[in-house]
Amino acid sequence: MTAAYLVYDVFTETRFGGNQLAVFPDAAGLPDEKLQSIAREFNFSETTFVYPPQNPAHTARVRIFTPTSEVPFAGHPTIGTAIALHDLGRGGEMVLELGVGPIPCTVGPKGASFTTPVPLQIVAHPPADLVAATLGLTVADLRLDRHAPVQASLGLAFVFVELADRAALARARPQIDAIRTAAAAYPAGLDFAVFCYCRDGETVGARMFAPLDNVLEDPATGSASATLGAFLASLPGGPRRLAIAQGDDMGRPSRIAVSVGPSGVTVAGQAVKVMAGTLYL
């Protein structure tokens, strides 16, 4: 058995930047029990498998796998898969069926965007000292006047913490023992995936660590960016647009645009095809 796949770099206009994504545009013949192994073989933060839609009015059904588990929603796989399908002739307007429900996507010369209507869910408020410890930082490195650390979700939970400055963001290093302790105390979504950031108005520098899910650091995390946008917009005077730079500290610069409107949170970005190949089973 063989299956064709594509590899895209997502949230970048430059090859070898952004976040890598493997896409299987016709996964209908792949055995379900092999999907996790395939995702682990690529070892990207996510791999997507595309199937015919359950609703014939939609474009496709998409399953998303990290190296360790299937997830209902993720941002860079949605953007990358939409652009891959567009490149294969699927048109510029599409609806992708994800684990959180149907997500409308638009693809054009400037990249792709999707809007998620899933409401913001506040899962928990992990203590600042615990969150700081997971990053190898101290509480003094956190900025707590605008919000305390929060675990929140638009379909996939992350822990969000604002840091004092860009220098603190650069110093962050995931601490496995502390993350194991935190994941046991706050089980939701991924295993205590931490999205740390610094912000100046609408400009955000960010990093995301999920080492217990085999993602030591993620170059671009669209689902977390969407959730951060929804969360900040819910705060008094919070911004409704964000320009997020992620991946710079690991040499894979990524740029993610987020806006919050009456129909939900919109995430936009570019992607470029890097590879194409054949899987043998």
Catalytic residues: 46
User: DSSP secondary-structure letter at 136?
Assistant: T
Give the residue among 268, 72, 47, 239 at the shortest CA–CA distance from 153.
72
CA distance 116 to 152: 15
CA distance 232 to 92: 30
Instruction: Say if CB 204 and CB 231 are below 8 A apart.
Output: no
CA distance 86 to 107: 7
With 0-12 / 13-18 / 19 or more C-beta atoms within 10 angstroms meaning exposed / middle / buried, residue 245 is middle
Residue 143 in tokens: 């900025």
